[in-house]
Every structure is written in structure tokens, then in C-alpha cells.
Chain A
Amino acid sequence: MLKYALLRLLGAIPTLLLVIALAFLMVHAAPGGPFDDERVLPPETARNLAAAYHLDESLPQQFVRYLKSLLQGDLGPSYHYRDHTVSELIGMAFPVSLRLGALAMLLAVVIGVAAGSFAALRRNSLPDRVVMTLAMTGISIPVFVIAPVLVLLLAVQLQWLPAGWSGNEGVARFVLPVIALALPQVAYIARLMRASMIDVLASDFVRTARAQGLGTMAVVRYHALKPAMLPVLSYMGPAIAAILTGSVVVEEIFGIPGLGQLFVRGALNRDYTLVLGIVIFYAALVVLLNLVVDILYGAIDPRIRQR
């Protein structure tokens, strides 16, 4: 098991390097520099500025320099927010996004698994069709459509919940963003769960359990639930990426000062270092969480470790 985990960890390193190189190249292959749009600088100043940010070095030199400081957790200075380093900005914004994303993920798994199992147990009945049509709708409708419509309905019209982040305290301000973020994932997990529960319910060990006189609820709880959840577990990787993507939109709509909002502001301001830093941070986070999912999968299903 330890060997398996270590192998996986080693396997993640080339992926991370690829991501960093790709992101770095994209930014540096772009025409023009970060200071081009400001007033024309005297050549002396422009040279000093370039030297201060090491823009006068060759691309490989810059890349090695960037990698070295990255290893020390330094993502360089922000071009737009001049008083802060990129690492500081990420450090301030990330905790909010983390809380939001973790809550959404929890909600998605709990409701998705329950709804999917329910549909599988009542296969081809009316409730099953309703749940599956809702799930398809949930998958199709993007977060940036769900979120404003929820705000319009629950915050503006009915006034049950606050629409914004600032000026509100406590749990209430989390409700709408978390629901908006979780809904597409609830839908996806419900579909996955239904399909795999149907497969598991048709397997021999379930039939044996039934033959021994175990009731449906007991069969599901003690025998079917765990194996049926394996596809959901392997979906966690893409789900994490999807929730990160969704959080960009949700934070923008609700005005939440998280990483997603920082990212969009950085992109609109053409803050190269900030955007580069956040992309690398996101990618590293996704790779790391995928690693955790992989190792968990290996821990639960010994067949995976053999490969």
C-alpha cells in the first residue's frame, strides 16, 4: 500500500512539471510585455524595469528562475496589485473558496448518492424517470445560469435568503452559492450512482444476500452501497475540477472574495504573474486531490493496487 502511494506520488511530478511549463510558455510566448499599455517610458527606465522583473533574460533562464522560486512557495510579484506578492494574494483568497468548495462537494455526494440509489431501486418507475430527467437538466444547465435564476427567485422575489456576500453574516450567505455550485455535480453523481447501483444489484453476491432473506434496505446498506460508490469515487477528480471552474462564476455572481474572483479580476486586468500563479496553484491542487482520490481508491479496492 505504501509502495503504491509512493509510486502515485512520483507519477504526479511529471504532470506538474508539464503544467507549469505549459502555463509559463503560454504567458511568455504572448506578444508584448506587461508594461506595454502604460505611458511610453524612457528607454533607461524601461530597461531598469525589465531588469527588475528579469524580463531581459532568455526564456529558459526565466523558466529556471521561476521554478526555483516556485519551490520556495514564491510566485513572484503581482503586476497589478503592486503591494502584494502573488502568494500573499492566493493565501488571502483561498480559505474562502476552500470552505465553499468543500461544502458544495459534501452536498453533491450526499444528495447525488441518495437520489441515484433511490432511482436505481425504483428503476423505470415514474419517480425514476422524474429524477433522471431532473438530473439531465441539472447537467445541461450551466452554473452561471442556475446561480442568477436562484438569486432572482429566492433572494429578489421571495427574499428568503441574502443575494450577496458582503454585508451579510453567518450561514445564510453560504446557502445560495453552495447550492448553485453543487447542483450540476448532484445531477452527475446521481446518474453515475443509478447506473452503477443497477449493475451491483444484478450481481451474484446481492442475489445471495437476498436469497438469505435480507430485506432491500439491508442489502443496499451492507452489501451494495460500497461497491456501487466506486465509480462515484473515481469521478471525484473531474468533480473537483468542475467545482473549481464553477467557483469562478459563483464567486463573481455573489461577490465572494475568493480565488475565483481574484482569478477573473487578474485575467481582466491582464495581470500575467497573478493569472499564471493561480493557474499553477489550481492545477497543483487538482493533481494533488486526484492523487488523494487515487490512493483512497487503492485502499478501498485492492484490485487496483495490483496493476
Chain B
Amino acid sequence: MKALADLWRRIRQSRAVMIIGGVLVVIVLAALIGPLVSPHDYLQTNFEQLLQSPTISDWRFFGTDDLGRDLFVRSMLGVQVTILVAVVASIVSLVIGVSYGAIAGYVGGRVDAVMMRFVDTLYALPFIFFVILLMVAFERNFLLIFVAIGAINWLDMARIVRGQTLSLREREFVDAARLTGVSTLGIIRQHIAPNLIGVVIVYVTLTIPQAILVESFLSFLGLGIQEPNTSLGALVDAGVNQMEGAPWTLLIPAALLAAILLSFNFLGDALRDVFDSRSSR
């Protein structure tokens, strides 16, 4: 807990992190609250207001689509899906990646060599195609998509955690703990884990945009979230078909998606500067 409080103090000092974090918080709050306060419903079609351009009046901030559905509510719903995929996929990749990397790094030797060779092998594969294969073979449901996305994004995490554990294991304070009779589990809990939190936070932040990207990619192709539900990828896809007459149907969800991805990538970079003074050159 003390380690966490210490980290939070260091994070708070970085202006870049606070600004980008603020942008993300605003987007998330808008996505959660927007659909509740808007008088429009994400499903309701309105054939008198097809492809209306965005206005301030009547809560039509983002206009309507080709069925007269409100694009503000639908976009915010898409952002909700994005948040959900970010949470589920990052938890899955966190659990697999951290435990895999920590075991390989702490045990070391031949076990480490075999485990990391396996990671190298998986690294080379175009995993997104396997996710698509999974979507073809099984019924498309939310959870399967999200877990599959998390399951393909743990490799970076495993590598980083393994490297960090490997170097921590050799440090004097770990030797000292071992000499005074602290158990392996105790060493991992008290000495290794607190020192991993920094890199883990950075790589979770960098995994999130990758997960979001995969989900929106699948939905764009029509293989992810299905109608009448929607996601930013599905909205971009719909926008492509309407862009000649109604460019906002493409540009608004595209800009939202880009803003979210960009924010997470910049946040990851800024956090890396906070936790690793060497890379801030």
C-alpha cells in the first residue's frame, strides 16, 4: 500500500500524465452519463430526421445516421464498449502476462529459456487471424471476443515482467532477504512485486489501445459487436458507406476512436518517463 501511495505521488507530479488522464476521464464520463441524460434512445429510428447534420439544439450534437438514429447516443455507447474491452482485455493480459513473466524470471535457467522461446514463437504469429477464426467457429458473443483479445495481448507484458524479475532476483536486498530466511513466496510478495508495479502500470496502459484496436478492427469488418449494439469500429464502418453525403457519420466516430487510442499511447509514454528516468532523455 505504501508502494502504491508513493507511485501515486510520483504520477501526480507529471503534468503530461495529469492532462492526458483528464482528457480520458472526460471522455469516459461523457460516455457513461451522456446516454442517460440525452432524450434520444440508441435504437429509436426516426424517418423524418435521416442523416441530419450535427447541431446544438435538441441534443443532436453528432447528428443522425441513415436510419435517423441519434449518433451522439450511439457513439457514447460505442465508447462504453471500448471501455469494457479495455477493462476485460487488460485484466486477462495482466493475469496471464504477469504470472508467466514472473515465473520465468524468478525460476530462471532452463525453464526460463523454454518459456521465453515459446513467447518468441507466438510473437511471430498474426494472432488477429486466429481471433477471426474463433469468431467464425463460435457464436459471436461479447465475452468471448473480449477474453480472446486479452489472451493475445499478454506477450509484451510477460517479456517485460520477466526481464524485470530476472534483474531484481540478483539484487543485494533480495539476497539479504533470502539469507535471513524469508520464504520464496515472501520474497516475491515483499520485494519483487512492489518493484514490478511501475512497469506493469506502463504496459497495461500500452496494452489497452492494442485491445481497443483489435475490437474495433473486428467490429469494422462486421465480425465483432453485432447490430443493434454498436462500437466505434462498427460506427466507422457505417460512416464509410455514408461519407459522400454525410461526412460527419465517418469523421465523428473516427475522431473519437483516434483520440482515445492517441491518449492511451501518450499516457503510456508519459508514465514510462515517470517510472523510468533513463528513457526520459
Contacts and interface: CB of A to CB of B under 8 A. Distances in A.
B252 to A, nearest CB: 12
Interface in B129-175: 129-130, 132-138
A287 interface: yes
B243 A148 contact: yes
Chain B contact residues, majority secondary structure: helix
A176 interface: no
Contacts of B50: none
A249 B217 contact: yes
Contacts, number: 122
Interface stretch (A93-101, A110-118, A220-228, A278-286): A278-286
Interface residues of A, number: 49
Interface string B197-217: 000000000000100010011
B262 A137 contact: yes
Contacts of A248: 221
B151 to A, nearest CB: 12
Contacts of A151: 243
B262 A141 contact: yes
Contacts of B126: 241, 244-245, 282-283, 286
Interface string A251-290: 0110000000001101110101001101100110011001
Interface string B108-139: 00000000000001011110111011111110
B138 A31 contact: yes
B66 interface: no
A140 B124 CA distance: 21
Given A140-B258, A144-B220, A244-B126, A156 B233 contact: no
Interface in B225-279: 233, 236-237, 239-240, 243-244, 247, 250-251, 254, 257-258, 261-262, 264-266, 269
B130 A26 contact: yes
A211 interface: no
Interface stretch (A15-23, A42-50, A56-64, A295-303): A15-23
Interface in A223-245: 237-238, 241, 244-245
A7 interface: no
Contact of A245 (B128, B133, B216, B258): B128
A15 B124 CA distance: 9
B136 A267 contact: yes
A152 interface: yes
Contacts of A252: 221
Nearest to B137: A30
B186 interface: no
Nearest to B281: A198
Interface of A: 14-15, 18-19, 22-23, 26-27, 29-31, 136-137, 139-142, 144-145, 148-149, 151-152, 156, 237-238, 241, 244-245, 248-249, 252-253, 263-264, 266-268, 270, 272, 275-276, 278-279, 282-283, 286-287, 290
Q: Please name the 8 residue pairs, one residue from A and one from B, whose CB atoms are nearest each other, closest first.
A: A30-B137, A140-B262, A140-B261, A241-B126, A145-B254, A148-B240, A144-B220, A141-B258
Given A149-B250, A275-B133, 8 more contacts: A140-B258, A140-B261, A144-B217, A238-B123, A241-B126, A267-B135, A267-B136, A283-B129
